[in-house]
Structure formats: structure tokens, C-alpha cells
């Protein structure tokens, strides 16, 4: 039997031996060195059957196929747009993937998306050299207007969204804001200024306490309390 | 007069007081502070991020760029002139080479990871403190690493071998002195930095490196604890 040195939700540091023996398997954020399973990143231990993996707590956004992200247009070319992804790599939106409308040869592409526009798009392909292709064809993919964008750690996005989007819909209901969460850690919020502010404080709170358990209840309580004070203020 | 006991009252294999903390600079992607005695190092990691000029890009892996910088009035001597110098360039380079063996940047082709190490005050052993802080900051930035890197200076003053020399020991005038900074990956026992200034015999060198390895393991425990405390419940 292999010996496991850690418990669920322990924090692992690079180089730390998590388990000894060939019965356990290394998952994300770990590697095998002889008999040992060793952590290769800073993260929260998760024992998943015989697999030992880490939930990462920090790090920049690295593009992945299928991610829905919020991007800024940084360049308009002949055949498409270059987008900033809030990570080390920029993405390319080609004319073909941007719209189903007919675009005449040599047309001015700024009439669709201009420099500085924020858009929600989905990643269709990432090459080994991290060339990123995105598309605008899909439900919810659009140009953003109004509202504001805040930056959170991309590792915390799953907690902000919650199981089947439970957390983000809770915030939406409580604050009456429109919210779009990009996998790259950019969150678009649109509502009245007070509501936007409450949504932002809530998201910051989730980001800070994302590694604690019982987060959903805590956030529910926080939202209820703050909604009340907002009402009495008025 | 032989060097019988240390000027500062420490034991020969005792380091100065160490304090470490991770996540001290919120705007950075990863950061850490490492204090050993009066030498204070702050490291901030930015990236992986887009790398320009383009000819520096490596399509097979990301690159690491370290920057060692002492603040103008950080040392007890003259004012340090701001900006890079021959000395700071060398230390930046050896820091980079001390960290690269444990760091895996193959996931981030064409990008760069920048490490800025700042010293508000120094009193000997700054490159070692810088490496300790940088290793913690890289781990805090969520980068893939085989292991952390711990570093300490060891050496000889007169006929005594000792760990973590302070300024008075480095400047000891009544006998020969050797100052040897060592960095190593504690779990693998591999040395990633070994430099020397001064005179020492082969036997003494072997012995003093063993002392350094032991001190590095103790420092590793401090680094580990600081990283774990960052997310303590």
C-alpha cells in the first residue's frame, strides 16, 4: 500500500513529497520521481481516488480550447482582429469567425469591432506555440457595451461561477446586474452604480476566500446583509 | 589572535534570524520577502508575459529574467549608485542560473517570466537572500517547479568554518577569510550556485559545503512554512 503524506485541502509546496508508492497516481500539479509523488506547484491537495492532484491557487491565464474569454481589440488587420487575452499570448479573430454577414473585399473592419472594443469570444484552437484562434459564433458571444470590467485571478474563476453557475446567478439575482465571467479572469458587470459596487465587493470577497469551504452560504449571508443596508440607505 | 568565538555571539553553524513571508506585493503575480539578519530581500514575479524584443523569444520554452537591485542607501558603505552595475549584472545572472534548474517554463513558449529582487537594506549574504526570496516568489506565482531553491553563504574566518557570514566576519582582517555562497535544491541535494571569494583548503571546502547544505535544509523549512501560511485557513 502506498503511503500518503497529505490530507485533502492541505497546501502543497513545490518539491514536497505527497505520497510514496506506486499505487497512487500523479495528477495536475504533481509529478512522479521514482517511488514518490512530488508537488510541482503551490496548490491545494485534492485526493481523487488513487490520483493525487493540486488545485492551483495562483498564476497567469494560459489559453485553453473551449474557454469563453473577454478580450480587448488591440489591432485591426486586413483579414481579422488581434485581441488581448489578459495572458502572455494574444488571440486572432478572423473575419470568417467574426460574423455570418457578407464582408466585401477591402471593407473597413472597424465597423464591426474597433480598437479598444471589449468582446466576449470563445477559443477554437490553441497551437503548441500558443497561437490562439477565437470565434464569435456561439450563444452569448458578443461585443460588450456599457458596464465595467474588473480583473480577478483566473484560477478563482471556477469559484466565482460556482457549480452550474450557482454563485454567479446568486450575485446576479441579488444585485440585478448583468454579469459575464471570462475564463481569463476578466469579469464584466453592468447595472446601476451601487449595484455594480456591491457585485464587485462580493466578487473580491469570493476571490479572497475561494479556498475556504462553505463559501456559498457565506456569500449568501453577505449579500443578504448588504442588500438590506442598501435599502435602508435609500 | 585566533577567531575563537563569533563576533556576534552566534554558534559556528547558526544563521542569523530568518523571517519569510509570501504574497507581500499584491500587484505582482507572485511575491515574497526574505529577511536574514539585516539583509532584507523583496522579490516580485511578473509573468509569464509577452516578450519583446522578439529576437529574445524562445519558441521551445519561456525565458527567465532576473534583476538584482540594491537601493541607494541600503548598505553601510557608500551610497549605491542607482541602476545596473557590473556587480548587479553578475548577481542577476547567477540568480537566474541558480533558479533555472528547478523551473519548468516549457508550457510558456515565446514568453518571459520577470523577477525583480529589491534590497531595502543589506549586510552581507544578499545574493543568497535574493535567491531564497525569488524561489518563493516563483512558487507563489504558480509556476511549475521541481523544488524550491534555498541559499546561504558559508565560509571560513581564520581557522574556523562558519555559516552565514555577516559584514564584520567578511571584513575580518586578522586572518584569512573565504566567503562561499551556496544555493541548492533541498529535496534533491543538488547545488545550483557555488561561488567563492578568498582562500580555503580542499578539505575545509568539503566540510563547509556540508555545513551549508544542512543550513539550506533549515532555510527550506522556513520558506515552506511561509508559503503554506499564505493560504492558511
Write the pLDDT tens digit of every residue in A67-95.
Answer: 999 999 999 998 899 999 999 999 999 99
Residue B38 touches partner A, C-beta closer than 8 Å: no
Q: Which of B87, B188, B204 lies closest to A34 in space, CA to CA? A: B188
Domain count, chain B: 1
Q: Which of B175, B71, B197, B192 lies closest to B131 in space, CA to CA? A: B192
d(CA B64, CA B203): 36
Chain A residues with CB-CB distance to B228 below 8 A: 11, 13
Q: Is residue B3 a part of any domain in this protein?
A: no
- Looking at residue B38, the DSSP 8-state letter turns out to be T
Q: Which of A146, A83, A80 lies closest to A112 in space, CA to CA? A: A80
Do residues B150 and B220 touch, judged by C-beta distance below 8 A? yes
Chain B interface test: which of A13, A86, A89, A185 (most B C-beta within 10 Å): A13
pLDDT confidence band for B125 (50 / 70 / 90): very high
Quickly name the fold that domain A3-56 has: OB fold (Dihydrolipoamide Acetyltransferase, E2P) (2.40.50)
Mean pLDDT over the full length of chain B: 93
pLDDT confidence band for B40 (50 / 70 / 90): very high
pLDDT recorded at residue A231: 62
- Domain positions in chain A: 3-56, 68-144, 148-233
d(CA B31, CA B47): 12
**Could you say which residues from 83 to 142 on chain A have a Cβ atom under 8 Å away from some Cβ of chain B?**
87-90, 128-130
| CATH number of the domain residue B29 falls in | 3.30.230.70
Per-residue pLDDT at B2 exceeds 80: no
Q: Is residue B6 a part of any domain in this protein?
A: no
Residue B48 touches partner A, C-beta closer than 8 Å: yes
Domains A3-56 and A148-233 share a fold: no
pLDDT confidence band for A104 (50 / 70 / 90): confident
- Summarised one tens digit per residue, pLDDT across range A47-65 is 988 999 999 999 999 999 9
pLDDT confidence band for A211 (50 / 70 / 90): confident
Q: Do B29 and A58 touch (CB under 8 A)?
A: yes
Q: Is residue B4 a part of any domain in this protein?
A: no
Chain A residues with CB-CB distance to B30 below 8 A: 58
For chain A, the three-class secondary structure string (H helix, E strand, C coil) is: CCEECCCCCCEECCCCEEEECCCCEECCCEEEECCEEEECCCEEEEEECCEEEEEECCCCCCCCCCCEEEEEEEEECCCEEEEECCCCCEEEEEHHHHCCCCCCCCCCHHHCCCCCCEEEEEEEEECCCCCEEEECCCCCCCEECCCEEEECCHHHHHHHHCHHHHHHHHHHHHHCCEEEECCCCEEEEECCHHHHHHHHHHHHHHHHCCCCCCHHHHHHHHHHHHHHHHHHHC
Q: Is the CATH code 3.30.1370.10 the one for domain A148-233? A: yes
Superfamily classification of domain A68-144? Nucleic acid-binding proteins (2.40.50.140)
Cα–Cα distances in Å, from B142 out to A40, A44, B40, B119, B130?
Answer: 9, 12, 23, 23, 19
What's the grid cell of residue A99?
Answer: 460574423
Q: Is residue B150 a part of any domain in this protein?
A: yes
Among A58, A90, A129, beta carbon nearest to B140: A58
Among B108, B145, B231, beta carbon nearest to A88: B108
Question: What ipTM was estimated for this complex?
Answer: 0.89
- Summarised one tens digit per residue, pLDDT across range B127-177 is 999 999 999 999 999 999 999 999 999 999 988 999 999 998 988 888 899
Per-residue pLDDT at B1 exceeds 60: no
Amino acid at each position: 500500500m502506498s503511503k500518503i503524506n497529505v490530507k485533502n485541502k492541505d497546501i502543497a509546496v513545490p518539491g514536497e513529497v505527497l505520497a510514496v508508492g506506486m499505487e497512487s497516481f500523479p495528477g495536475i500539479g504533481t509529478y512522479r520521481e521514482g517511488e514518490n509523488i512530488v508537488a510541482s506547484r503551490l496548490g491545494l491537495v485534492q485526493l481523487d481516488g488513487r490520483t493525487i492532484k493540486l488545485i492551483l491557487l495562483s498564476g497567469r491565464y494560459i489559453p485553453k480550447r473551449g474557454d469563453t474569454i473577454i478580450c480587448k481589440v488591440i489591432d485591426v488587420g486586413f483579414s481579422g482582429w488581434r485581441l488581448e487575452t489578459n495572458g502572455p499570448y494574444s488571440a486572432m479573430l478572423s473575419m470568417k469567425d467574426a460574423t455570418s454577414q457578407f464582408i466585401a473585399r477591402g471593407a473597413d473592419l472597424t465597423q464591426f469591432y474597433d480598437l479598444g472594443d471589449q468582446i466576449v469570444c470563445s477559443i477554437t484552437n490553441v497551437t503548441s506555440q500558443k497561437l490562439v484562434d477565437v470565434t464569435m459564433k456561439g450563444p452569448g458571444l458578443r461585443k460588450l457595451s456599457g458596464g465595467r470590467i474588473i480583473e480577478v485571478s483566473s484560477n478563482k474563476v471556477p469559484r466565482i461561477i460556482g457549480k452550474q453557475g450557482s454563485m454567479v446567478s446568486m450575485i446576479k439575482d441579488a444585485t440585478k446586474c448583468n454579469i459575464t465571467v471570462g475564463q481569463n479572469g476578466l469579469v464584466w458587470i453592468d447595472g446601476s452604480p451601487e449595484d455594480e459596487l456591491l457585485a464587485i465587493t462580493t466578487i473580491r470577497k469570493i476571490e479572497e476566500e475561494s479556498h475556504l469551504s462553505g463559501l456559498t452560504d457565506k456569500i449568501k449571508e453577505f449579500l443578504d446583509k448588504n442588500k438590506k443596508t442598501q435599502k435602508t440607505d435609500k | 589572535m585566533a577567531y575563537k568565538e563569533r563576533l556576534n555571539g552566534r554558534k559556528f553553524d547558526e544563521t542569523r534570524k530568518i523571517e519569510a513571508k509570501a504574497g507581500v506585493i499584491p500587484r505582482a503575480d507572485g511575491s515574497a520577502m526574505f529577511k536574514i539578519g539585516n539583509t532584507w530581500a523583496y522579490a516580485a514575479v511578473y509573468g509569464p508575459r509577452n516578450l519583446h524584443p522578439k529576437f529574445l523569444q524562445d519558441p521551445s520554452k519561456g525565458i527567465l529574467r532576473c534583476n538584482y537591485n540594491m537601493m541607494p542607501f541600503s548598505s553601510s558603505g557608500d551610497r549605491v549608485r542607482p541602476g545596473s552595475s557590473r556587480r548587479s549584472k553578475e548577481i542577476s545572472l547567477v540568480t537566474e542560473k541558480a533558479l533555472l534548474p528547478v523551473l519548468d517554463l516549457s508550457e510558456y513558449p515565446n514568453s518571459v517570466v520577470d523577477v525583480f529582487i529589491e534590497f531595502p537594506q543589506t549586510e552581507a549574504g544578499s545574493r543568497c537572500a535574493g535567491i531564497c526570496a525569488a524561489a518563493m516568489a516563483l512558487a507563489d506565482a504558480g509556476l511549475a517547479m521541481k523544488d524550491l531553491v534555498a541559499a546561504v553563504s558559508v565560509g571560513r574566518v581564520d581557522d574556523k568554518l562558519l555559516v552565514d557570514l555577516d559584514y564584520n566576519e567578511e571584513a575580518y582582517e586578522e586572518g584569512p577569510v573565504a566567503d562561499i555562497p551556496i544555493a541548492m535544491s533541498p529535496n534533491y541535494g543538488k547545488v545550483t550556485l557555488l561561488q567563492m571569494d578568498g582562500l580555503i583548503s580542499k578539505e575545509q571546502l568539503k566540510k563547509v559545503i556540508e555545513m551549508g547544505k544542512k543550513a539550506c535544509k533549515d532555510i527550506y523549512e522556513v520558506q515552506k512554512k511561509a508559503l503554506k501560511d499564505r493560504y492558511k485557513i
